[in-house]
Amino acid sequence: AQSVTQLDSQVPVFEEAPVELRCNYSSSVSVYLFWYVQYPNQGLQLLLKYLSGSTLVESINGFEAEFNKSQTSFHLRKPSVHISDTAEYFCAVSDTGGFKTIFGAGTRLFVKA
Partner 1 sequence: KAGVTQTPRYLIKTRGQQVTLSCSPISGHRSVSWYQQTPGQGLQFLFEYFSETQRNKGNFPGRFSGRQFSNSRSEMNVSTLELGDSALYLCASSLEGQFYGYTFGSGTRLTVV
Residues lying near partner 1 in the complex (CB under 8 A): 32, 34, 36, 41-46, 49, 51, 90, 94, 96, 98-106
Do 26 and 104 contact (CB within 8 A), yes or no? no
Q: Closer to partner 1 by CB, 41 or 70: give it.
A: 41
Q: Is 4 exposed, middle or buried (0-12, 13-18, 19+ CB in 10 A)?
A: buried
Instruction: Write down the least CB distance from residue 19 to partner 1, Å.
Output: 21
Q: Closer to partner 1 by CB, 25 or 90: give it.
A: 90
Instruction: Write down the least CB distance from residue 17 to partner 1, Å.
Output: 27
Of 28, 23, 13, the closest CA to residue 83 belongs to: 13
Instruction: Write down the least CB distance from residue 15 to partner 1, Å.
Output: 27
Instruction: Write down the least CB distance from residue 36 to partner 1, Å.
Output: 8
Q: What are phi and psi of 84, to 5 degrees?
A: -70, -10
Q: Closer to partner 1 by CB, 17 or 105: give it.
A: 105
Q: Is 95 exposed, middle or buried (0-12, 13-18, 19+ CB in 10 A)?
A: middle
